[in-house]
Structure 1
Amino acid sequence: MHPMIIIGSGMAGYTLAREFRKLNAEQELVMICADDAVNYAKPTLSNALVGNKAPEQIGLGDAAKMSAQLNMRIETHTWVKSIDAEKHELILERDGQESTQQYSKLILAVGANPIRLAIAGDASDAIHVVNSLIDYRAFRESLAQKANKRVVILGAGLIGCEFANDLQNTGHDVTVIDLAPQPLGRLLPNHVAEAFKQNLEETGIQFVLGTTVEKVSKHSDASYEVTLANGQHLFADVVLSAIGLQPNIAVAKEAGIQTSRGVMTNTLLETNLADVYALGDCAEVNGTLLPYVMPLMQQARALAKTLAGQTTTVHYPAMPVAVKTPAAPLTVLPAPIDVEVNWETEELDDGMIAKALDAENTLRGFVLLGPTAGKQRLTLTKLVPDLIPAQV
């Protein structure tokens, strides 16, 4: 029998391997990844400075340790060039050499890639993105080399705001730029976004909204000049792009696997091709793309059971997201995008509770800003219907 193969060594790939090994210790398991396969939790990157964690302290285990722990062969620095689903075969490339690998089941845990804006200027290639521990190491090296501490962040979404908070709390001078008129534009109603922004501004973070970066140029003393579309000029020692992620669908698409925003699966996490599954940031389950930790855990547990012979659909209960911005503690449960909601807000001394109610007055999502509001998380979560119900 051919091995079961996981493509990708991120949280999704490792969590699935761990869950599968609880159920089946013997089945041959192979992980293929383009990097060094160090196991780490990606969410820890955006608050590692405050936690005083150096990049080398973030890894939980290298490929050798993980291979032994999970009884799994790990092929590092290996690219999947193509998938032949009919033959159940992969074409791999390593060190310029091609090889083939047969599989019995194939799991795509290929994650998402940072969206890169086309930015002019002779320093556009100096813009950092942080989507891996390797990226993060390079970012921290840049920070350490600069005498000044001015950081410009492109993108006021979840990751941009978390990094801004982490950098500002560790003595950096942070400016966040976004084309949207507010931070966390896709997650928060306007009035909550405004209060969230004010809380972050009180720590010294500056926001420049409603505009975008046109050019990043080299300036004297190893700094950069950032030119905005509104005519403003900013000076930075390090520039970080955090404008979002796009599921990595290229290899899947080429193989004839159905894709939309992500790799499309049903609630068994099956793609349209036999014995090919997807999970994690690349997976669009029943039309829903949720690139967060809790959905990933739900997927891994369900898929591990299915792969071990107990067919199990994924269950999505209401899964709030905690935003790591201690200056403005925030918990968000986004309402489904296809549901029209009205917002009902309760003001508190240290924040607010905003509830998203549908036409039937059912709670479909919420935003909790501040420490007191945060205590309502469990109570409110129980009131929100499942996104994908459990199958009995």
Structure 2
Amino acid sequence: MNPIVVVGSGMAGYTLARELRKASAEAPLLIITADDAINYSKPVLSNALSGGKLPEQIGMGDHAKMTEQLKASIMAHTQVLEIDKENKTLTLRTDAGIVTQPYAKLVLAVGASPIRIPIEGDGTSEVYAINSLIDYKTFHASLAQKKSKRVLLLGAGLIGCEFANDLLTTEHDVTVVDLAPRPLGRLLPQEVAIAFQKQLEAKGIRFELATTVKHIAHTDTGLSVTLANGQTFEVDIVLSAIGLKPNTELAHAAELAINRGIQVNQSLQTSHADIYAMGDCAEVEGHLLPYVMPLMQQARALAQTLTGNPSLVHYPAMPVSVKTPAAPLVVLPPAPHLEVTWNFEELEDGMIAKATIGDVLQGFILLGPTATKQRMALTKLVPDLLGLPA
């Protein structure tokens, strides 16, 4: 019997594998990954410094342990070159050469890759991006070698702000640069973004907004960074966190439907019947949500479908806790297509912002220790983002 093949051993791939084993102890399962197959929680990477975790302490299981734990075959350091939909086979590049692997069902859990912007200068070798434990090990090692602690963070989105907070708590001098006029500009209305920025600035994070990095050059004492607005200052290392782009190349070559991500229906099925996608690479009925809770919902539903119990993924209201203890923040943005009215309530230590249509709460933003306590109560009032048929 040909196996269920999962491409990717990140949080999506391994979470699906666990759910598959709950649904079936015997279903043949093969996981293919281009990296070393170490299991780790990717969200941990953006607060590992403040948690005192060394890179070698983040992994929760190596290739051998995961093979035993999941009762699966795992092919590490293996690249999928091609999907043959008609014959239901994969062409793989392994250490032993090119091989062909058949599948019964195929799941693409191939994640997303950091967006890079062009930067001039000989200092671009000191620009790092963290999208995996391997990336984090490289950044951590370089950071430890620096005599001073001046870090420039390129990107004031969710991950950028989390890394900025993490570096701040370990006594780094942090400057955040972004083209947007406010941090978290895609998630927060202006009123909350301003308050969020002020709270982080009060703790010591510096923002240079409405500009970007144009040039980085090595100097005798570090890196000279020139911004597009002409401002120049010195740092020791640059971390780029300007966003992620779903990895769709393999799906595109197989002529699967792609929009912002690999397009799937509520069964997580692509435009081809025996191929599915989940995690950061998947756009589910128009929703591209690179967060943990949607991933968990996807894994539970897809495991049932793959083991003979067709199931639809369900998205209840899923707030996101941003890991910025210097400015505690919970976000549940309204669906992008909704025309909502924002109402703001200022508190001594933050703000509550509610997005409504009529009397129905469609989303909310909670800033500060007092506001974030209302997370559960408000979540119950928000309709499902992706419901199940009646």
Q: Distance in 2 between matches of 1:340 and 1:41?
A: 35
Deviation string for 1:270-302 (max 9, x for gaps)?
001121000000010001100000000000000
| Secondary structure of 2:203 counterpart | coil
AA of the residue aligned to 2:81 = K
* 1:40 aligned partner: 40
* 1:341 Cα deviation from its structure 2 partner: 1.2
* 1:262 Cα deviation from its structure 2 partner: 0.3
* 1:281 aligned partner: 280
* 1:146 aligned partner: 146
* 1:191 aligned partner: 191
* 2:303 aligned partner: 304
Q: How does 1:340-379 map to 2 (within 5 A)?
A: 340-358=339-357, 360-379=358-377
* 1:340 Cα deviation from its structure 2 partner: 1.0
Q: Distance in 2 between matches of 1:133 and 1:263?
A: 24
Q: How does 1:48-197 map to 2 (within 5 A)?
A: 48-95=48-95, 97-197=97-197
Q: Distance in 1 between matches of 2:83 and 2:333?
A: 35
AA of the residue aligned to 1:252 = A
Matched, 1:205 2:219: no
| Secondary structure of 1:252 counterpart | helix
Q: Are the aligned partners of 1:315 and 1:391 in contact in 2 as well (CA < 8 Å)?
A: no
AA of the residue aligned to 2:39 = N
| Secondary structure of 1:168 counterpart | helix
Q: Are the aligned partners of 1:85 and 1:274 in contact in 2 as well (CA < 8 Å)?
A: no
Q: Are the aligned partners of 2:351 and 2:366 in contact in 1 as well (CA < 8 Å)?
A: yes
AA of the residue aligned to 2:74 = I
* 1:56 Cα deviation from its structure 2 partner: 0.5
* 2:252 aligned partner: 253
* 1:391 Cα deviation from its structure 2 partner: 3.5
* 1:96 Cα deviation from its structure 2 partner: 7.4
Aligned length: 390
| Secondary structure of 2:39 counterpart | coil
Matched, 1:333 2:337: no
Deviation string for 1:232-254 (max 9, x for gaps)?
11211110000000000000011
Q: Distance in 1 between matches of 2:9 and 2:255?
A: 23
Q: How does 1:230-269 map to 2 (within 5 A)?
A: 230-269=229-268
Q: Distance in 2 between matches of 1:308 and 1:104?
A: 11
- Comparing 95-104 with 185-194, greater Cα deviation is found at 95-104
TM-score (norm 1): 0.98
* 1:126 Cα deviation from its structure 2 partner: 2.3
Q: Are the aligned partners of 2:180 and 2:209 in contact in 1 as well (CA < 8 Å)?
A: yes
Q: Are the aligned partners of 1:225 and 1:235 in contact in 2 as well (CA < 8 Å)?
A: yes
Q: Distance in 1 between matches of 2:244 and 2:25?
A: 34
Deviation string for 1:59-82 (max 9, x for gaps)?
010111000000011101100011
Matched, 1:226 2:237: no
Deviation string for 1:2-46 (max 9, x for gaps)?
111000000000000000001111111000011001100000001
Distance verdict in 2 for CA 1:96–1:69, change over 3 Å: closer
- Comparing 110-119 with 88-97, greater Cα deviation is found at 88-97
Unaligned runs of 5+ in 2: none
Instruction: Kindly report structure 1 stretches of 4+ aligned residues shifted beyond 2 Å.
Output: none
Unaligned runs of 5+ in 1: none
Q: Are the aligned partners of 2:179 and 2:209 in contact in 1 as well (CA < 8 Å)?
A: yes
Q: Distance in 2 between matches of 1:95 and 1:126?
A: 30
